[in-house]
A = this chain, B = another copy of it.
Amino acid sequence: MTTSVRVREVGPRDGLQAEAPLSPRDRIELVDQLSRCGFGTIEAVSFVSEKAVPAMAGAADVIAGIERVGGVQYFALVPNVRGAAAAMDAAVDGLTVTVSASETYSQKNTRRSVEDSIEEVSAIRAEVGDGVWIDAVISCAFGSPYEGDIAPSAVADLAARLRDCGASALTMADTTGMATPRRVRDVVEETGVDVGLHLHETRGTALVNAYAAIELGIQAFDTSVGGLGGSPFAAGAGGNLATEDLVHLLDDLGIESGVDLDRLLEVSAWLSQRLGRPLPSRVASAGPRSRLAPSEA
């Protein structure tokens, strides 16, 4: 089993995108609080249509307003060359781009074919030049709610093409919760372990999939504070793997993530208050296993 894992916090982007919009000021506060938790990377914003995703409006203001903390890379999701140009103008540290392994999902979610999405990655690489880190996230990598299972070899072929088009790294996303430990193994056997995983809780399998992936040697995960998230467009999407729940597991397994769970739980409590409801994370609700019942006087 691996001894350390990189956790990319995607709460400010994937976590909030389907929520009633928070103000840019609150989103800056969220990123700044997360910056003090020990993440190496925070996906802070997305440069998408403000009309389509109002919760992500004002991305440039958010990036301009945050306090950059040394050692933290601030990423933006970009859907196209125009978004990539805007993200570079805002001086983000890296980009995530999404390409689907499912043709139908691609058409429904982005009104673009898989082929056109691959082309867009090439165009984004050409736009931003060689020095910028681009993480290509493959959605529906473990199955599609439209086509069902997708051959792991097809996912690996797509990953290889995306590397050829300029992707610096690959992340396999379980967009609608179709991954299982077996599907994770099947995909990782084809792609190799040098990929990240982006897991969702649609069927309650995010943590068991992460555990199975760690056993295989996977060392990078996307998670969302509080377990918020899920595509506003994807049928049947559930929240992201909660950062608290993964870090709680990693801490118990003795796997280093650099993330301070106590600080993170404070951020989670703050965010819960801002959103006015409990967040999905079970560890956020119950507290870590080390938290004993209050003694009665």
Contact = CB atoms under 8 A, between A and B. Distances in A.
Contacts of A146: 292-293
The number of chain A residues touching the other chain, given as a range, is 35 or more
Contacts of A238: 282, 286
Nearest to A288: B203
A201 interface: yes
Contacts of A202: 282, 286
A177 B290 CA distance: 11
Chain B CB within 10 Å, residue with most, of A202, A238, A292: A292
A201 B282 contact: yes
A245 interface: yes
Chain A interface helix/strand/loop/mixed: loop
A237 B247 CA distance: 21
B292 A148 contact: yes
Nearest to A294: B235
Interface stretch (A8-16, A57-65, A180-188, A269-277): A180-188
A115 B204 CA distance: 38
Given A202-B282, A283-B203, A178 B143 contact: no
A147 B290 CA distance: 10
A203 B252 contact: no
A289 interface: yes
Interface stretch (A73-81, A131-139, A160-168, A206-214): A206-214
A178 B290 CA distance: 8
Contacts of A287: 236
A205 interface: yes
A145 interface: yes
Given A180-B249, A238-B286, A293-B235, A204 B203 contact: no
A146 B294 CA distance: 8
A204 B281 contact: yes
A73 to B, nearest CB: 28
A275 B282 CA distance: 23
Contacts of A288: 203
A253 B181 CA distance: 8
Contact of A211 (B201, B212, B236, B293): B212
Contact of A207 (B148, B208, B253, B281): B208
A242 interface: yes
A248 interface: yes
A245 B282 contact: no
Interface string A201-236: 111110110111000000000000000000000011
17 contacts: A148-B290, A177-B289, A178-B289, A180-B249, A181-B252, A182-B254, A183-B252, A201-B282, A203-B282, A203-B283, A203-B289, A204-B245, A205-B207, A205-B245, A208-B210, A208-B211, A236-B293
